[in-house]
Amino acid sequence: MNLKSKQEIVDELHAAWSESNSAVVAQYSGLNVAAMSDLRGRLQKAGVSLRIVKNTLARRAAQDTDLQAAEEHFTGPVAIAYGTDPVGMAKAVSDFAKLNKALEIRGGVLDGKAIDAAGINALASLPSREVLLSKMLGSMQAPISGFVRTLNEIPASFVRTLAAIRDQKAA
């Protein structure tokens, strides 16, 4: 690989990692091609990219990005998953690592801060972003809907009282 192609790889990774807010670094030695293809497919469904690159190039590409916090994990054969959905990424990598013991999660980055393998597994146990947003929206709507029901009850009780008076006079 010549210097120009190495620089192109570094520039491409730097641009992609600048847009990413999370990453997972894992050691992949012992995985066959079929297993790596399975991992790539799972990550692609989660909207996450996976890259295997030499550690020196990864260190250069990580300069001035959030992934710079994970440089300590760039030793040996590593695969770097990166994207903008940290929970989806952590779930995909963690679920794959449970099925394939050859993949060892070393750590990662979340919003510029390094997290360890236990942090990745804890992140994987969270509900998805959509579920969390729907729960938050439900919590925000609960007081409003309760207020609407209370306001609705005032005229309803008035109508029930008038109906009771009418029934009483009719009898």
The pLDDT, as a whole number, for residue 102 is: 86
The pLDDT confidence band at residue 111, using thresholds 50, 70 and 90, is confident
Check pLDDT > 80 for residue 15: yes
Query: For residue 66, what is the DSSP state?
Result: G
The predicted structure's pLDDT at residue 141: 78
The pLDDT of residue 162 is 87
Q: What does the pLDDT read at residue 117? A: 87
Place of tokens 């109906």: 163
Q: Identify which has the larger pLDDT, 141 or 14.
A: 14
Instruction: Tell me how far apart the alpha carbons of residues 50 and 72 are, in angstroms, rounded to a whole number.
Output: 18
**Looking at per-residue confidence, does 115 or 143 come out higher?**
115
* pLDDT tens for each residue of 55-99: 888 888 888 888 888 888 888 888 999 988 888 889 899 989 998
Question: In the chain, what is the straight-line distance between the N-terminal and C-terminal CA atoms, in Å?
Answer: 100
pLDDT at 4: 86
Name residues whose C-beta falls within 8 Å of residue 83's C-beta, 6 or more positions apart in sequence: 20, 22, 23, 43, 46, 47, 48, 49, 89
Take residue 109 and report the two structure tokens written for it.
């980055």
